[in-house]
Structure 1
């Protein structure tokens, strides 16, 4: 490595190669980058991944379906609820388990709250990296409200493990429902505040517009998903394209941009939080009475071969 750096500096004295990570104040040991810099301009970045690999797939080979359930909320600790519910839905589909409508609706509320919390952490840390300390504090204040709500129904703030095969662990009470409704009303106002505080900021726009452009073709070739894919022009959201878990009964838009730059990805995520608020409001209105766990689920079961 030293000889390569020396050779490159000899050939062009303006190019510097630096290591970023895997231990870095702005990260959690998840990534290492070889950076080629020309002044303040990033010329090339070579990622080295795998530092957070936990071998979940290998652990699943030696555990029962129920024993592996706690792992699912640890795949991505920012979206633990969504992974937990997704795993349960896969088992339910294989075993043809029918989930009560109340449990389906509760799952949607929990999922969308978790989605907003994940986006708020992204927004806060993103702005903090750009020097925006004040909006970072606002974002984490909003996120704390969500974590308290999810803690009330799951007993955990991050690794929820709330869903069960055939439903959910605990029912929601009036405190949770009223708290969620109040938060949604508050969040709508906060999104307007973020737009005034951040979106129109000249320095923010200069640092985001035209930066990190990813075309739709490049996004698809790299297998990109989620907001990054939609910010590159492809309006694909599994909740809309292949509705699952009751999402087909809800009215919401799929935010999409065509610029493919950092600003576009910012807009998509901000709009997604507004759409999540819309979904939660609909779910709160239509939440039916009834059981939260199917009574027909066997105590022991075996997955079919194949």
Structure 2
């Protein structure tokens, strides 16, 4: 075996150690392909992984414990930092759980706006996945192209809520603002152009022999293992399980929208890549239908529930009761109904759900986040065994984890 110390200049962020004829390789937690502060302890026999031990906790922030010491409204912006690539998805997951617990009826117009924001977040998240995954494998051009289209989406979100990364665009009981003038026209312009951009990405990658050699047959996950490890989202659908919460347990206006759930029986990295591409097409399809529904919806964007939701700014500025109720909600916080609830949603990475145990106080007694990346990271312990070292980066990229969800 070559002396590991001679390899150090080529692997600045990787540590080597010899152990009974096998090599122990510490991948991360500062490695750029780890997609965050992930450390993988890999035991190698030559170039093959014989044992993999994921280690997390390097950026632990105690998000769930913070929730128990904050009001529901105060905690909402913190959810932006869970999956910070699709922060509106986290905003909605918390709001939906609180609304379900408190029986808050969200107006139709707000539901349509929420659906638009969630699907824009989905495309933005998928584009970041595609860009970084391609770059990890060695395709630089796709990285630049994907970020070009992602900037257009971030511009749309910024015009709506003023933020590009951590949005806080959804509030308990509805949304803060209606869509600004001309916003839907820009959305339609994007939706009409984006399918050709997806075709460009596929033209660069799908039949590229190097791309296919690096992805096909790599990181194969069987249907049984995907289910037993608690996989969701594309990780589950690529292994032959046609399950999407938007179809199985519809929320918002998804039950009124015609879209398909792409899935594959191959279960490898290439299948996952193909599903992400098809999901972006389906999101465009959903956005186009939402635009039509929006034009035929009523004007209300906030629930009429004074006990839990502040009135509109106009009412607060003109009606004394609304001002008093707003003051109470801001200073004391929303006092949710007593009970417990779990509400699942289909985030860009899989099943994102919030469990809340409420004692009728302004803060949850217990809050638990069911984040998909946590399960997909645990899977490395089994999925990486038998793979080559060069394929470890490919598998991490195709599983599309983010450490903000894992180190909560």
TM-score normalized by the length of structure 2: 0.70
Contact in 1 for aligned 2:237/2:262 (Cα 8 Å) = yes
Q: Which has the higher strand share?
A: 2
Q: Which residue of 1 aligns with 2:358?
A: none
Confirm whether residue 291 of structure 1 aligns to residue 300 of structure 2.
Answer: yes
1:135 is displaced (CA, Å) by 0.7
Contact in 2 for aligned 1:231/1:261 (Cα 8 Å) = yes
Confirm whether residue 21 of structure 1 aligns to residue 28 of structure 2.
Answer: yes
The partner residue of 1:212 within 183, 207, 219 is 219
The partner residue of 2:100 within 93, 110, 113 is 93
1:39 is displaced (CA, Å) by 4.6
Confirm whether residue 256 of structure 1 aligns to residue 263 of structure 2.
Answer: yes
The partner residue of 1:8 within 20, 24, 42 is 20
Which whole-Å CA distance do the structure 1 matches of 2:233 and 2:57 have between them?
21
Q: Which residue of 1 aligns with 2:172?
A: 165
Contact in 2 for aligned 1:227/1:269 (Cα 8 Å) = yes
After TM superposition, the runs of 4+ consecutive aligned structure 1 residues lying more than 4 A away are none
C-alpha RMSD over aligned residues: 1.6
Any gaps of 5 or more consecutive residues in structure 1? Answer: 10-14
Q: Which residue of 1 aligns with 2:40?
A: 33
Contact in 2 for aligned 1:104/1:246 (Cα 8 Å) = yes
CA offsets per residue over residues 125-157 of structure 1, 9 Å max, x none?
A: 000111111111000111111111111111111
SS at match of 2:82: coil
Contact in 2 for aligned 1:98/1:166 (Cα 8 Å) = yes
Confirm whether residue 244 of structure 1 aligns to residue 244 of structure 2.
Answer: no
Aligned pairs for 1:1-306 (under 5 A) are: 5-9=17-21, 15-27=22-34, 29-287=36-294, 288-298=297-307, 299=325, 300=329, 301-306=334-339
Which whole-Å CA distance do the structure 2 matches of 1:39 and 1:185 have between them?
50
Which whole-Å CA distance do the structure 2 matches of 1:124 and 1:71 have between them?
26
Any gaps of 5 or more consecutive residues in structure 2? Answer: 1-15, 308-324, 340-408
1:27 is displaced (CA, Å) by 3.8
Which whole-Å CA distance do the structure 1 matches of 2:46 and 2:155 have between them?
45
Q: Relative contact order: is structure 1 or structure 2 higher (C-alpha 8 Å, sep ≥ 6)?
A: 2
Which whole-Å CA distance do the structure 1 matches of 2:87 and 2:278 have between them?
21
SS at match of 1:26: helix
1:174 is displaced (CA, Å) by 3.1
Which whole-Å CA distance do the structure 1 matches of 2:250 and 2:303 have between them?
21
Contact in 2 for aligned 1:228/1:265 (Cα 8 Å) = yes
1:228 is displaced (CA, Å) by 0.4
Q: Which residue of 2 aligns with 1:12?
A: none
Which whole-Å CA distance do the structure 2 matches of 1:117 and 1:174 have between them?
22
Rate the CA distance shift 1:31–1:108 in 2: closer, same or farther, 3 A.
same
1:85 is displaced (CA, Å) by 1.0
TM-score normalized by the length of structure 1: 0.93
SS at match of 2:259: coil
